[in-house]
């Protein structure tokens, strides 16, 4: 008899778990309260990249004359058309996921799933109808939502969440983004490119203050923001937002959270913008899920801890994706792999060896302008772990392809272990860095040395040559860099 598996949440973790569970012979039911694809497809990865594509194209049009293309007439963004294109793409992607699920014989239920008791989930449909669904194994993939700050809560008109930004029907004249992390930096470049005057406020000493992002990337990104006339306040927090006037009056103060021992004094403690976008984190969607009914433990505001097999504190109950919280890696592609592991383990017998999730080699992709791709350890992380390291950096401007496409801003940095010359980390900021990081990911996964990468032939003229260039420099035999 096949296992009955219920999965709550149809994002990149949940629907991938459903597909793998069905392929392994499980009787799978997937519960999703909104749209298939979760935050990534509907409110994150995909819609923001659709907007970035248009922003990139707009910038190219503005400099077309320099590239030998004459464009007559005005060139202006059209948010209505952009939003319509976005919705068409999202709809197509949702249909694609639904088709995949249907082809595997997976039952998809729309509504809110709540754990009623051991082995039983209560489904509340949109019309209020309640249905009990039985399970042998349960996978929780409910995800997160934008964090609301009590001092300046979302009003969805002048104080916006990252979700609100993705449905704007116009380009504001000015925008202040609270949070210089991944989401904040991506939106800063998109809206600046489309003609908005953007200010970024970050509580830490640098943009992208993430351990996995090397400080060299943050420095270069700050330089590129300044080139785009994006104002940046690091070591700074927002204490208050006044929405009573035509604009948002924003009060600033020195950050008590900064890691900068000597932060500079603020040049101003008040700024104003048409809107303020708050992009400083996510909060779990575990409330009301009924975890207490089966004894599943949570941490902090509701994160669900899970072991390497993705099992929670309760046997046969698994958790995957962003609901695991910042102790794990909150990325869509990580959620998908966690989904594979959870589904495989849910379908195994007690005596079978279990699948285990690995977090050591996870690529990061940040769609700023220029893009950032990271994998492995940063220089600071490697040193903290006790490695004796050597580093090498090469500018993208040395590549003929970068010159040809007029995208020369950027740098590749490689961190290697001095004794073995194994690659510990690669950090790229430059054109198509999010695609180029794949080679570095495979290299670190397979334990390759810088010499092995340097002796790998890279096609010319391509941006992929940056890996050969930086690897050659790392072994003391620089080519162009």
Pairing mode of beta strands 275-278, 159-160 = parallel
**Three-state SS for 450?**
helix
* Residues labelled catalytic: 460
Q: How far apart are CA 352 and CA 331, in angstroms?
A: 29
Dihedral over alpha carbons 280, 222, 225, 462 (to 10 degrees): -110
pTM value? 0.95
Instruction: Specify whether the CB–CB gap between 327 and 306 falls below 8 A.
Output: no
DSSP β-bridge partners for residue 132:
122
The pLDDT, as a whole number, for residue 255 is: 96
Encoded tokens for 49: 């990249």
133 pairs with which residues across the strands? 121
* pLDDT tens digits, 131-176: 999 999 999 999 999 999 999 999 999 999 999 999 999 999 999 9
275 beta partners = 175
Tokens found for residue 299: 């941490």
For 366-394, the pLDDT digits (tens) are 999 999 999 999 999 999 999 999 999 99
CA 224/CA 400 separation, integer angstroms:
21
Choose among 17, 20, 19, 21: nearest CA to 4.
21
Nearest Cα to 124, choosing from 338, 289, 240, 295?
A: 289
Cβ atoms within 10 Å, residue 419:
9
Q: Which domains does the chain have, with CATH numbers?
A: 4-146+283-346 (3.50.50.60), 159-279 (3.50.50.60), 370-474 (3.30.390.30)
- In this predicted model, what pLDDT tens digit does every residue of 300-353 receive, in sequence order? 999 999 999 999 999 999 999 999 999 999 999 999 999 999 999 999 988 889
59's tokens: 């910038």
- Tell me the pairing of strands 248-254 and 236-242: antiparallel
Residue 2 confidence (pLDDT): 72
Q: Which band of pLDDT confidence, cut at 50, 70 and 90, is reported for residue 1?
A: very low
């Amino acid at each position: 008899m096949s296992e009955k598996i219920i999965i709550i949440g149809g994002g990149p973790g949940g629907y991938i778990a459903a597909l793998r569970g069905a392929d392994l012979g499980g009787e799978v039911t997937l519960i999703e309260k909104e749209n298939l694809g979760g935050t990534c497809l509907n409110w994150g990865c995909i819609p923001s990249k659709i907007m970035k594509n248009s922003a990139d194209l707009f910038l190219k049009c503005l400099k077309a004359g320099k590239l030998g293309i004459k464009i007559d007439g005005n060139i202006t963004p059209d948010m209505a058309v952009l939003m319509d294109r976005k919705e068409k793409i999202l709809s197509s992607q949702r249909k694609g996921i639904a088709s995949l699920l249907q082809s595997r014989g997976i039952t998809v239920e729309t509504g809110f799933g709540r754990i009623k008791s051991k082995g039983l989930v209560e489904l509340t449909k949109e019309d209020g109808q309640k249905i009990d669904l039985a399970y042998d194994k349960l996978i929780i993939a409910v995800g997160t939502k934008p964090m609301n700050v009590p001092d300046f809560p979302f009003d969805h008109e002048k104080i916006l969440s990252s979700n609100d930004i993705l449905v704007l029907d116009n380009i504001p004249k000015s925008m202040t983004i609270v949070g210089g992390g991944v989401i904040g930096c991506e939106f800063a470049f998109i809206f600046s490119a489309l003609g908005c005057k953007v200010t970024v406020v970050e509580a830490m000493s640098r943009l992208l203050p993430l351990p996995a992002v090397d400080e060299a990337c943050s420095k270069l990104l700050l330089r590129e923001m300044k080139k785009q006339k994006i104002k940046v306040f690091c070591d700074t927090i927002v204490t208050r937002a006044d929405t009573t006037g035509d604009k948002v009056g924003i009060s600033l103060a020195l950050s008590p959270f900064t890691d900068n021992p000597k932060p500079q004094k603020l040049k101003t403690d008040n700024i104003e913008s048409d809107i303020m976008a708050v992009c400083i984190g996510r909060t779990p969607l575990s409330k009301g899920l009924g975890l207490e009914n089966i004894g599943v433990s949570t941490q902090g505001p509701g994160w669900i801890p899970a072991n390497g097999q993705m099992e929670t504190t309760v046997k046969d109950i698994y958790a995957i994706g962003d609901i695991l919280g910042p102790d794990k890696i909150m990325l869509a592609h990580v959620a998908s792999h966690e989904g594979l592991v959870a589904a495989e383990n849910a379908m195994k017998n007690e005596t079978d060896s279990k699948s285990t999730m690995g977090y050591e080699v996870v690529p990061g992709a940040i769609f700023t302008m220029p893009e950032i791709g990271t994998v492995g350890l940063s220089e600071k992380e490697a040193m903290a772990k006790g490695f004796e390291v050597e580093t090498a950096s090469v500018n993208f401007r040395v590549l003929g392809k970068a010159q040809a496409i007029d995208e020369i801003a950027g740098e590749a940095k490689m961190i290697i272990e001095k004794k073995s010359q194994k690659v510990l980390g690669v950090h790229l900021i430059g054109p198509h860095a999010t695609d180029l990081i794949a080679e570095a990911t495979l290299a670190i996964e397979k334990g390759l040395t810088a010499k092995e990468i340097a002796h790998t032939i890279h096609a010319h003229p391509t941006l992929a040559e940056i890996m050969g260039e930086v690897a050659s420099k790392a072994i003391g035999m620089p080519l162009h860099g």
